[in-house]
Structure 1
Amino acid sequence: MLLEQERRDVCLTARRLFDHGLAHGEGGTVSARCGDLVAVTPAGVALDRVEPADCPVLSVDGGVLEGRREPAAETTLHMAVYRETDATAVVHAHTPNATSVASVLAELPPIHHYAARLGGAIPVTSYATYGSGDLSDQVVKALKGKRAALLANHGGVGIGDGLEQAFEHARLLEWLCGVYIDARRLGEPRVLSEEELAEVRHRDTYGWAGPDLLFL
């Protein structure tokens, strides 16, 4: 079976989405790349019930090579990301906070320093029908310099070097959207500047003690 380990990992990540309340039913798509091959969750199967043999394997150019089920409709989005970025994993889900923000805002402002991990402000794509080439193009554009993006009236996507990182980026995106929604109930949130985000990225290059000399 092609990409046997990757198919297992895709299934485990899909179930993590369900277990963490980040997806329900078929409300998301998970994929992992190895070389020129990609394993992806299938169409017609709830994320918490996907089995490795269900997961199609495709070439990066989009041809289906193996799998007992058809690829999910959002596979076109995943393949576009692999062709245009250095990501080796993509996690897309219709999470409630991300979907809410993506239905109202043009971008998610960075109001917490964790936003720096995703690239700062997170753009929202223009609306496009799911599974379409237009949506794929919009997502690739939104991901330039970012590790996550929001899909207008749809949900969010996280990318990374491996499924663990892509999952955490998708989960962080959902958390940041929730923080923004809560903050807006209190008033107008303070948005971190590019200079402040740059300082956060600089701080992230150090260990627990940071750049300050605490010990003589």
Structure 2
Amino acid sequence: MRSRTPAGRSLAVLAGALALAGSVTGCGIRTTTVPVNAGDAPSRVPCEVQEGNLTTQAQPGVTVRVYLVCASELTPVERAASLPAEKGNSDPVRVAQALLDELLEQPSDTEREAGFTTYVRGPLLVSEVRAGDPPGTLRLSRQPEDLPTAALAQIVCTLSEGAATDGSVVLGGPGTYEARGYRCDDDTKRSPESAVPTTGPLPSAS
């Protein structure tokens, strides 16, 4: 028997392919190149933590609001901080440290799934004011201007709500530089990577 020529083999392969296509069509199955629409992909609302799902760093305490970064903006998140119930009458340095500790804490699984993150990194401590500091000054263990802009924005917005009432906070560092007033406004919350605005001249210490 003579072997098939290359042309004969090609015709045989083509005939087999046509026969297979015919059998598929005969079974009621039609080939298509149009993608199948399986519906919209599952979606969730970002930057939102379910009510009552609080992250507790240590023992249950009072509910506080801290600002985390989500979708390139600052968004408040409720946390259960280790503070006595009478936090309003507590030492302001202790309150500020508790708030900073919450910012230093990495987001919980629930917060992370919702898109939250924090740019505040430790160590970061709050110390007592110095002689000559304006009233309400909080001294940090790192110079505020040396912190990442987004981290400073988180700190300013968190402390201005948790340790002050006028939307601003006076911060200083460990060095000899004078303390400066920082303000948390809507622009800061919308764009934490931009420079954090400062306040006007600070009142002198009495």
> Normalising to structure 1: TM-score of the pair?
0.25
> Normalising to structure 2: TM-score of the pair?
0.26
